[in-house]
Amino acid sequence: MNAASAMKPLVLAALGLLLGACQSLSPSSPPAVYQRTAWEHLQSGCQGHECPLVNIDTLNFSDEPALNRLIDRGLLELTREADGMPLPASLESYERDFLTGAKPGWSSYLQAKVREQNDGRILVELSSYRFTGGAHGVPGRTFIDFDRRRQKALELRDLLLPGQEEAFWAKARQAHQRWLVGQGVGDDAEFIATWPFQQTRHIGLARAGVLLMYDVYRIAPYTSGHPLLVVPYPQLNGILRPEFFPRSR
């Protein structure tokens, strides 16, 4: 047997493994498996209806440790009361510190949930709500758009063809106008002047289109919650990278 013949089985075996890995993330492959972990703790020794509490509802993916780390970090980032504040070391340490200093009626909620799984991507939505007195609490929300093949959270620059960012935001402005009409303020000049369109970093790929989510007070008053804009895929031809368009089922 010559060297070429001897190498052929090894090459075929390696090719088989590669194809198997690719097929595992094909559109027809099973979705990623995960478990929900949830708990709620009250301030130690407290009794009654005004006990401070921390409620955490998170996810753990069996075969996606990188995503698990992103979820933990994302939830911890939602606990910060201001940009630049240091992150807690863990969810457990955040809970301990919050309850130690909490006053009656204070509460903190953190949640991670899978919004969609499709085309080898997992769209996770993170949300928070913290009440520490005042007229109302402070909500937070963001996306993790995790690409299983790339093993990373996708950002806008990953999604767009070169030089298409301005065109993308032009389409987002159109989506914002549709949202205004849906809210009944499409012709309200005062509302539009007070709450003009702005860009957002909370972006995710969904079946319906590219989602753009906004923090409260960003493009609308508190009562509007977290506005969600949708840019349909047909409007993104020549803007979005071809691999991010939905695959035919």
Q: Helices in 63-143 by DSSP H: which ranges?
A: 65-78, 91-101
User: In the listed set 115, 138, 153, which residue is the last one of a domain according to the structure?
Assistant: 153
* Angle at alpha carbon of residue 173, lines to 169 and 84, rounded to 5°: 60
| Maximum alpha-carbon separation in the chain | 83
- Tell me, what's the pLDDT at 5? 44
Looking at the fold, whether 108 and 147 belong to one and the same domain comes out as yes
DSSP class of residue 160 equals B
- Tell me, what's the pLDDT at 23? 38
Kindly list the distances between the CA atom of residue 8 and the CA atoms of 1, 16, 22, in Å, as whole numbers in the listed order.
11, 12, 21
Q: Which of 90, 237, 213 is nearest to 245 (CA)?
A: 237
CATH code (residue 99): 3.30.565.40
Looking at the fold, whether 103 and 144 belong to one and the same domain comes out as yes
User: In the listed set 153, 180, 195, which residue is the last one of a domain according to the structure?
Assistant: 153
How does pLDDT run along the chain (249 residues), one tens digit per residue?
Answer: 444 444 343 333 333 433 333 434 455 568 999 999 999 999 999 999 999 999 999 999 999 999 999 999 999 999 998 888 899 999 999 999 999 999 999 999 999 999 999 999 999 999 999 999 999 999 999 999 999 999 999 999 999 999 999 999 999 999 999 999 999 999 999 999 999 999 999 999 999 999 999 999 999 999 999 999 999 999 999 999 999 999 864
**Partners of 139 in the β-ladder:** 129
Tell me, yes or no, whether 7 lies in a domain.
Answer: no
- Confirm if 68 and 148 have CB atoms less than 8 A apart: no
* Angle at alpha carbon of residue 207, lines to 171 and 74, rounded to 5°: 85
DSSP class of residue 240 equals B
Looking at the fold, whether 71 and 113 belong to one and the same domain comes out as yes
Q: Measured between alpha carbons, how far is 99 from 55 in angstroms, rounded to an integer?
A: 11
- Residue 34 three-state SS: strand
Q: Which of 118, 20, 123, 116 is nearest to 67 (CA)?
A: 123
Tell me, yes or no, whether 22 lies in a domain.
Answer: no
- Tell me, what's the pLDDT at 83? 82
User: In the listed set 98, 118, 153, which residue is the last one of a domain according to the structure?
Assistant: 153
- Tell me, what's the pLDDT at 12? 36
- Tell me, what's the pLDDT at 173? 99
Containing structural domain, residue 85: 34-153
Question: Domains in the chain: how many in total?
Answer: 2
Q: Measured between alpha carbons, how far is 81 from 88 in angstroms, rounded to an integer?
A: 12
Q: Measured between alpha carbons, how far is 139 from 242 in angstroms, rounded to an integer?
A: 35
| 68 residue type, one letter | N
Q: Measured between alpha carbons, how far is 198 from 76 in angstroms, rounded to an integer?
A: 25
- Reading the block at residue 96, the tokens are 């301990």
Looking at the fold, whether 71 and 146 belong to one and the same domain comes out as yes
| 51 residue type, one letter | C
pTM of the model: 0.86
Looking at the fold, whether 142 and 175 belong to one and the same domain comes out as no
Crossing angle of helices 65-78/91-101, nearest 10°?
A: 20
